[in-house]
Structure formats: C-alpha cells, structure tokens
Copies of this chain bind each other. A is one copy, B any other.
Amino acid sequence: MIRVTVQREPIDVAAALAAVEADGAGAIASFTGLVRADDGVSILELEHYPGMTEAALTALAEGAAARWDLLDVTIVHRVGPMRPGERVVFVATAARHRGAALEACASLIDRLKTEAPFWKREVTTEGSRWVEARGGDEDAAARWR
C-alpha cells in the first residue's frame, strides 16, 4: 500500500510503522529526518507547493514500489514551522526481504531531497535564511535513476 502525507502536525512514527507492520511484510526499513539540535537553529520552517508536492511524492513511492516489489511505501513530510528535535520527514518501506526494503528506503529519501518541491528556512538568533541546495544531494539522487 502507498501512503503519502504532507502535514503541518507532528509526525507520529509509531502509528506510521504500525500501519506498515500490519501488512505482513518480513522486512521494514525506515528513515526519520529530524531538525538537528546542534546547529544553532531555533526554528526550521518548511514551505511546499501544495498539489505538486503530493503528486511528486506519490510518483516517487509508486516508482520504488514497482522497482523493488514493495508491499508498502509510506512517506510523511511535515511542513510549517518546527523546532530542534522534531521530525521533518519519515519514510518507510516494506518488502519480503531486507535488501529491497533497505535499498528502496535509501533511494526514496535521496530522491525526495531533489525531486519534491519543499524549501527550508532556518531561523537562528542572527535572523533567518533559506537553506541552499547541496550538490551532494543531486549526486545522491542520481545514483538511483
């Protein structure tokens, strides 16, 4: 099953994982991205492109499900303001065997970083700034295409 959610509310990882586990797979891989506590950032704000974001994430999920024969793909991405330690993104993949689940999960978070329309702004004590895209992210995503 493919589950894609873009939400302002905090991400409930336990509930998301429980839903994936209920589908009877043998292997579940997950990735959680959090606002790091050690960067002097007091607020991280995520902007997105409503409509296109959900479509882009769904396309990534469907592509991974077909390529790795997955039982489940879950992508939950938070938008709006969030604090250090809070979850920004959660990806989970379920398959019969571990290799498929692990690879698909890594691929999804790599591609999500360059192929879904989100933009991050960091607020620090010195002000706020838009986060610049990293060249390494493009390289990471290109591995899977």
Contact = CB atoms under 8 A, between A and B. Distances in A.
Given A17-B13, A102-B106, A109-B102, A96 B36 contact: yes
A22 to B, nearest CB: 8
| Chain A contact residues, majority secondary structure | mixed
Interface string A88-100: 0000000010110
A111 to B, nearest CB: 12
A101 interface: yes
Contacts of A21: 32, 34, 85, 87
User: Which range holds the interface residue count of chain A?
Assistant: 20 to 34
Given A24-B36, A30-B32, A31-B101, 15 more contacts: A13-B14, A21-B32, A21-B34, A25-B36, A26-B33, A26-B35, A27-B31, A27-B33, A28-B34, A29-B31, A30-B31, A31-B98, A31-B102, A33-B98, A106-B106
